[in-house]
Amino acid sequence: MNISRPRPKLDAENRAFWTGGSEGKLNIMRCGDCGQYTHPPKLLCRHCQSENVAPQAVAGTGVIDTYTINYQAWMPGLEVPFVIARVKLDGVPGVYLTSNIVGCPVDEVEFDDRVRVTFEEQDGIWYPLFRKAG
Ligand SMILES: [Zn+2]
């Protein structure tokens, strides 16, 4: 996709999420005390307020929970249409990632499609995108 994505400011909380793609890993913060996940990444568990949290690589698969097709070229050079989807991650209860579905025509995207993460690197940030699986 030809999108210049908004660049996150890396810090101790989000670095593992935005750079995990360099190792092919989708890292989500997990609590060492209650075992629950916290996203967006924070150094504090959103379930039990423990500071015993650390990034953990998750499966990187999931299903499309909801999506929309963007037809608007709202900035120069943007290739349209493209799909913005909310992906419910396998094995990561309560965590949804809003991202793009790439690698297929937009009219082949449906609710509940199975997807798998893929990464697009721009300037040291590995953006997690999703492709249809299988
Ligand atoms: Zn916790």
Q: For the chain, give every domain's residue range.
A: 15-132
Sequence-separated contacts (24+) of 107-112 with Cβ below 8 Å: 108/132, 109/64, 109/67, 109/69, 109/83, 109/85, 110/64, 111/64, 111/65, 111/66, 111/67, 112/63, 112/64
- CA 93 to ligand 1 center in whole angstroms: 13
At 122, the pLDDT band (50, 70, 90 cuts) reads: very high
Residue-wise pLDDT tens digits, 37-67: 999 999 999 999 999 999 999 999 999 999 9
Of the chain, the percentage scoring pLDDT greater than 70 comes to 97
- CA 17 to ligand 1 center in whole angstroms: 18
- CA 47 to ligand 1 center in whole angstroms: 5
Is the model's pLDDT at 77 over the cut of 80?
no
Q: Shortest CA distance to 96 belongs to which of 19, 51, 32, 38?
A: 38
Q: How many Å apart are CA 9 and CA 55, to the nearest integer?
A: 17
Q: How many Å apart are CA 46 and CA 64, to the nearest integer?
A: 24
- CA 95 to ligand 1 center in whole angstroms: 14
The token pair at 1 is 């996709």
pLDDT for the residue numbered 79? 85
Average pLDDT, the chain: 94
- Looking at residue 71, its amino acid is Y
- CA 49 to ligand 1 center in whole angstroms: 6
Q: Shortest CA distance to 39 belongs to which of 55, 51, 52?
A: 55
pLDDT for the residue numbered 24? 97
- CA 8 to ligand 1 center in whole angstroms: 25
Is the model's pLDDT at 93 over the cut of 80?
yes
At 74, the pLDDT band (50, 70, 90 cuts) reads: confident
Is the model's pLDDT at 110 over the cut of 70?
yes
